[in-house]
């Protein structure tokens, strides 16, 4: 598997780098279009076409190390244990930046970072709430990952959601969850203050690419219309990250399609843009 920005950067050790890229090509519970198993490799390949200057800064000067892909064969619990171990190791050197794979992989990262840091907040970009307790018989479905995060005691702020089941709507009310749904963003614009006043200063950012509108990234299992547009996403990331400590990030659910280089490139650029925002605006 390629390295992130291999065309621009010399190979470096984990100790030299802030950003620790962890590919996690797990796919077991996708419920519509498949292909997320190929997402990490596609992002890494597309990253060779990026420029290190992102328009405002060069995040690569902080160092980007790409770890070997996690072995994602076997059942979900086994794979999550491996992801947890890989992220825990990466977090000893810098900020884990995981590439999925289906959204289930996020749980492994959250477990590792919860053990290391204690409580933190999760900023979730997604078309779906992912708050089901179980889906198709599994508590480890991609549709359940944020419910598992709540089970860990981690607060979640969802951005761009526009597809929920009734149980998820009820859970939001029961748990008094905060969110900015895609409809609210479209109808009312971007709020001045994005995250609640009592949201943790330390955060993890998980970005399911279906949170973006399909006009930006269509290569994903369930491309729901009416999503977040590119510059909205960048501004929302800036608002979420500014002044906070980012302990980990991920970009998940890219399902590459033959001939659709635009989606792969957009996912790679999103990953690098998130690094740049952390470089410029976070306390990390």
How do strand 19-24 and strand 64-66 relate by DSSP bridges? parallel
Report how far residue 64's alpha carbon sits from residue 62's, in angstroms, rounded to the nearest whole number: 7
Handedness of CA 260, 261, 264, 270 (dihedral sign): negative
Phi and psi at residue 220, to the nearest 5°: -155, 160
CB 102 within 8 A of CB 140: no
Residue 71 is labelled as binding a ligand: no
> Does 38 count as an annotated binding residue?
no
The annotation status of 210 as a binding-site residue, yes or no, is yes
Known binding residue 198? Answer is no
Query: Is 208 part of any known ligand binding site?
Result: yes
Using DSSP's 3-state secondary structure scheme, residue 76 falls into helix
- Name the strand (E) or helix (H) holding 224: none
Distance separating alpha carbons of residues 129 and 212, to the nearest angstrom: 14
Are the C-beta atoms of residues 109 and 96 closer than 8 Å to each other? yes
Per the annotation, does 181 bind a ligand?
Answer: no
- Find the helix or strand (DSSP H, E) in which 259 lies: none
Known binding positions: 103, 126, 128, 130, 208, 210
Known binding positions for Mn(2+): 103, 126, 128, 130, 208, 210
């Amino acid at each position: 598997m390629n390295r992130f920005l291999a065309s621009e950067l010399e190979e470096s050790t984990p100790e030299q780098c802030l950003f620790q890229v962890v590919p996690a090509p797990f796919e077991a519970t996708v419920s519509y279009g498949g292909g997320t198993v190929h997402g990490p490799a596609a992002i890494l390949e597309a990253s060779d076409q990026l420029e290190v200057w992102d328009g405002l800064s060069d995040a690569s000067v902080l160092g980007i190390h790409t770890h070997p892909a996690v072995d994602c064969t076997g059942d979900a619990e086994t794979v999550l244990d491996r992801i947890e171990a890989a992220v825990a190791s990466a977090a000893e050197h810098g900020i884990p930046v995981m590439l999925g794979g289906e959204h289930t992989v996020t749980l492994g990262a959250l477990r590792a970072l919860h053990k290391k840091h204690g409580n933190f907040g999760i900023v979730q970009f997604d078309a779906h709430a992912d708050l089901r307790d179980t889906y198709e018989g599994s508590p480890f479905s991609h549709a359940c990952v944020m419910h598992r995060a709540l089970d860990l005691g981690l607060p979640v702020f969802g951005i761009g959601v526009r597809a929920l089941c009734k149980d998820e709507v009820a859970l939001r009310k029961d748990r008094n969850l905060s969110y900015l749904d895609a409809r609210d963003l479209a109808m009312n614009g971007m709020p001045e203050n994005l995250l609640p006043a009592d949201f943790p200063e330390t955060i993890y950012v998980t970005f399911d690419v279906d949170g973006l509108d399909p006009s930006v990234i269509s290569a994903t299992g369930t491309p729901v219309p009416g999503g977040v547009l590119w510059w909205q996403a960048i501004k929302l990331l800036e608002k979420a990250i500014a002044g906070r400590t980012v302990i980990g990030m991920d970009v998940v659910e890219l399902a590459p399609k033959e001939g659709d280089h635009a989606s792969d490139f957009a996912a790679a650029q999103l990953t690098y843009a998130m690094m740049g925002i952390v470089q410029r605006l976070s306390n990390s």
